[in-house]
Amino acid sequence: MKQKYNPMMFQCSESLDMSKHIVATYYMRGKGTNPMELDLAKFAESIAAEQATGTWIDVPFETDDIVERHAAKVIGIYETPAYDRELPDGIQYRDMIVRLAFPWENIGTNFPMIFTTAIGNISAARLKLLDLEFPKEYTDHFQGPKFGIQGVRDILDIPERPLTCAMIKPDTGWTPEQGGIMAYDAYLGGIDVIKDDELLVADPAWCPIEKRVQAITDAGKRAFEQTGEKKLYTVNLTEDSFKIKDLAYRAIDAGANALMINTYTAGFSALRQLAEDPNIQIPVMSHPDYAAAQSYSPDTGVAVALLWGKLARLAGADMAITTNYYGKIPVLRDSYLRTCRDLKMKFHNIKDCLPAPSGGMYQGVVPDTIYEVGTDVMIAAGGAVHGHRNGATAGARALRQAIDGAMAGIPLKEYAKDKPDLQIALDDWGCGEKEDLFDMKK
């Protein structure tokens, strides 16, 4: 007699060689005409089959040997709350955490198949991929960040303090000459890294990549002569994948000292090819535009910390723009901080990645950001630099003053009393108490 559940699809993790498996953890919500009759184990088995060897019906060549070697195994089903004796009356749905172990020989060592396997067809179901656990035997095939946090600090000769970053504003439409002026003003006030906005085309007719790189790196050199502080410029290379490496080489030939890619539109493989290219010996920044579309639903997609954090780091980002709890884009504090931790905590052979909280970052929330994220952070502000009443140099100076005050342990309002640029920023934007500061949060 055929069994309802295939015993080969259920395993204790202790019985598997975990060096040969990637473990995916999912949140799932079961809902039906009668939630009390939902078969959680069968649902877990079905998604394990769907993402490995099986389909909705038995097929002749899905032999026991193939299932044993290649099928995903259900290694954990945990209902939350953990009902064991009975279900409460009137229950409308049932939540569970499911853990599947995928043989990574099915996947290979590439990002397209990681996503296809872990969250492919099943992305149409009501489930969310929370985490992927990679064995060291797998991550050994990835270089990860070429420089990491310490490498970026060494390039800029900044041993301890938080770094600063400013996006050129407006986002697009400016010429290389205008970009050079805006970059110089921000650099002069104390910005360490200028980045292109993600909306700037890599090589537009009005702002060709070579001329743009030359103008902004020249601005950095002139600012260095004035301040003694080294500068970086992350030039946006986002384009069709087959054009990206050529754009990188052109930018480097023009003098680029850092690169940027919109990882979630260009693809993780685009980031990886930049990071792992031995001919590219400069840091790479990852930008997360579009990622929220894949991660912000509470019960579908991929968790923010995994998508924006661990996977961007595995692909090779030295610096990664992240959400900012205090900024213009809604995000839970816990989610934002998990992402920052995933970028920095120990992860096999993979170097750490510098988190750059952005999206409405401003001077008044710098102390809280450093307190929560730590000093290994890049404070990334655009509007709060270029939109300062006294100009970009004053805005950048105020940002650095906010960092200095936080590092000294002096309350910002007290620290600003003899610093007019910082005082203006606090007067205009406050210290996190102005709930109507951002239209996107209304």
Question: Tell me: the pLDDT tens digits for 242-297?
Answer: 999 999 999 999 999 999 999 999 999 999 999 999 999 999 999 999 998 899 99
Q: How many CB atoms lie within 10 A of CB 329?
A: 17
pLDDT score at 33? 64
Q: What is the per-residue pLDDT for 436?
A: 82
Establish whether 4 is a catalytic residue. no
pLDDT at 56: 63
Active-site hit among 169, 230, 243, 328: 169
The SS3 of residue 354 is strand
Residues 6+ apart with CB under 8 A from 7: none
| Burial (0-12, 13-18, 19+ Cβ within 10 Å), 218 | middle
Distance separating alpha carbons of residues 6 and 212, to the nearest angstrom: 60
Alpha helix stretches (DSSP H) within 37-101: 40-50, 64-70
Question: Which of 224, 222, 253, 226 shows the shortest CA–CA distance to 157?
Answer: 224
Look up residue 3 and give its DSSP letter: -
Q: Please state, as a whole number, how many other Cβ atoms lie within 10 Å of the Cβ of residue 70.
A: 15
**169 has catalytic annotation:** yes
Round to whole Å and give the CA distance between 305 and 432.
23
The size of the chain, in residues, is 442
How far is 363 from 381, CA to CA, in rounded Å? 9
CB-CB contact of 427 with 391 (8 Å): no
Ordered by where they begin, the domains of the chain are: 7-139 (3.30.70.150), 148-429 (3.20.20.110)
- Which member of 21, 73, 146, 287 is catalytic? 287
| Per-block mean pLDDT, blocks of 10 residues, the chain (442 long) | 81 94 94 75 86 71 72 93 88 92 95 95 90 98 99 99 96 94 98 96 96 98 98 98 97 98 97 98 97 91 96 99 92 96 98 98 98 98 97 99 98 98 98 84 72
320 in Cβ contact with 288 (< 8 Å): yes
Angle among Cα 49, 50, 52 to the nearest 5 degrees reads 65
pTM comes to 0.94
Q: How far apart, in whole angstroms, are the C-alpha atoms of residue 104 and residue 15? A: 16
CA 341: distance to chain centroid? 11
- Amino acid letter at 12? C
pLDDT tens, position by position, 212-246: 999 999 999 999 999 999 999 999 999 999 999 99
Are the C-beta atoms of 132 and 58 separated by less than 8 Å?
no
Predicted confidence at residue 10, as pLDDT, reads 87
